[in-house]
Structure formats: structure tokens, C-alpha cells
Amino acid sequence: MAKSTRTPLISGNWKMHHNHFEAISTVQKLSYLLTKDDYEAVDVSVHPPFTDLRSVQTVLEADEIPIALGAQHCHWEEKGAFTGEISPAFLAKLNVTYVICGHSERRELFGETDEMVNAKAKAILKWDMTPIICCGETLEEREAGGTDAKVAGQVRAALSGLTPEQVAGLVIAYEPIWAIGTGRTASADDAQAVCSLVRATVAEVAGAEAAESVRIQYGGSVKAANAVELMAQPDIDGALVGGASLVAEDFAGIVQFHAAT
């Protein structure tokens, strides 16, 4: 199967790393390393902690750096008595483009349910931002042969109630939980197989046109060394990068995978 014409999206999820000074420095270094050719070939987003968002926004806009600002999480309500949560309306005011939704760490550590992920996806879309909806299985589920059921179920639940037009503009990230931060990576063939399943599930829910348009990322110990092989797969349209996005040189190496293809 030939590679599609979907523009790859490489997203750096900084998780609970980098204070706002470190975030500014990382973005500036990244901008020095990436070229016009990189930005033409690949969409890039960075997802710093909430306390960094305004600082990073200011740098990106003042220096006209063509990197999209992303957030790691939000609540589904616009406002209310939700101490410690972040409103999607607040993120929209900061010109956030992408919001990670249902990351495995949010699901596994903080008890986010499929219903919550669906509510968040709808709220993110309401405020004209794009959800990066995450799905993925644990090692136990994988070894028990439950990968397909787990991933397809998460995708169906996340897309419930969305129109085909909304689904077409989404990003879905397949991130096997067993590969996050462990140094273990799904083989390119295995990653492609699950990303193909994700696309087939989208087609069942929202139709073939939406499935062809939706961008599917792979996440899980992505590095410059494996990025080229992963990105060559027909149903992998980018990467959701964790640890390797914290160092500008490492992240730039992943973004520049296109130069080797």
C-alpha cells in the first residue's frame, strides 16, 4: 500500500518536565534546528506543562516560529467548581491548536474513562481546537490477545456522537502502554497493523472519507533511530513523542525523518 498524502504530525509531549524557562530554551533551540523544508514536510506541535503555555505561546508568536502550541489535557466543562482542572476555553485563549485527550497516563493513573475522553474530545472541538485522542493496550492485554478489542473499543467510544466532518479533522494516537518510557517499541509492522485497525474502526464509525482523512500517530519510545521506519508505514501519519522530545536535538532528529525518505 502506498503512503498517503496526509501531512505527518510530530508532537512533543513534555509531560511533567521543563519549567517555563526550560520550555522557552527548548523551543528556541528547536527553532534553530528546524528548517523551512522541515516545516513544509511535517507539522510540529509541542505540549508543555500548563505553567509553560503562556511563555511558549509568546515565544512562538513573537518569533513567528511555525510550531503549533499544544496542551496535555483539559476538562470537558467550560467553567465551574473543578479545583485543579483546566478549561478548554482557557486553552483556546492561548491559541492552543492541539489538546492531548485520553493519554494512557491519564487513563491508568487518574482514572479517566472512555466517557470522559469522549466528553473532552467534544469540548476541545467546541473551542475550535483539535483533539489528539489516545488509545492503546497494556502488556497484559497484548499478551492475552486483547489488543484489537481494547483499541477498537477505545476508538469507538471516543468518537461517539461526533460527525464525520469532525472525525475527519481529528488526530488519533496509538500508544501501546507497554512501550511508553520503557525503551521498548512496537515493530513497524506491529504498529502499522494496529494503526490500520484504528483507521478501519474510524471507517466503521464515521465512513471511509473520514477514515482516509484522519491522521494517526504512533507513540511509544519513538526516537530518530526508528522514526524513518515507523513513518514509512501507510497508516502511520506522525508520532506522539515523550522523552525524546525533551531535548531539542533529539526531537529535531525525529521531525527530520522526512529527509531520509
Instruction: Tell me what pLDDT residue 233 has.
Output: 97
Mean of pLDDT values over 236-255: 98
Is residue 101 a contact partner of residue 134, using CB atoms and an 8 Å limit?
A: yes
Tell me the backbone φ, ψ of residue 257, rounded to 5 degrees: -55, -30
- Exposed/middle/buried for residue 109 (C-beta within 10 Å: 0-12, 13-18, 19+): exposed
Whether 229 is a known active-site residue: answer no
Catalytic, out of 103, 105, 112, 137: 103
Arithmetic mean of pLDDT, 215-234: 95
> In this structure, what C-alpha cell is assigned to residue 256?
527530520
Q: pTM above 0.85?
A: yes
Q: What is the CATH number of domain 9-260?
A: 3.20.20.70
> Among candidates 57, 135, 139, which has minimal Cα distance to 91?
57
pLDDT per residue as tens digits for the range 37-64:
999 999 999 999 999 999 999 999 999 9
The predicted model gives 5-14 an average pLDDT of 97
103 an active-site residue?
A: yes
Q: In this predicted model, what pLDDT tens digit does every residue of 201-212 receive, in sequence order? A: 999 999 999 999
3-state secondary structure the chain: CCCCCCCCEEEEECCCCCCHHHHHHHHHHHHHHCCHHHHHHCEEEEECCHHHHHHHHHHHHHCCCCCEEEECCCCCCCCCCCCCCCCHHHHHHCCCCEEEECCHHHHHHHCCCHHHHHHHHHHHHHCCCEEEEEECCCHHHHHCCCHHHHHHHHHHHHHCCCCHHHHHCCEEEECCHHHCCCCCCCCHHHHHHHHHHHHHHHHHHHCHHHHHHCEEEECCCCCHHHHHHHHCCCCCCEEEECHHHCCHHHHHHHHHHHHHC
* Residue tagged active-site, from 105, 112, 141, 175: 175
Nearest-5° angle of CA 160, CA 164, CA 170?
Answer: 80
Per-residue pLDDT tens for 56-113? Answer: 999 999 999 999 999 999 999 999 999 999 999 999 999 999 999 999 999 999 999 9
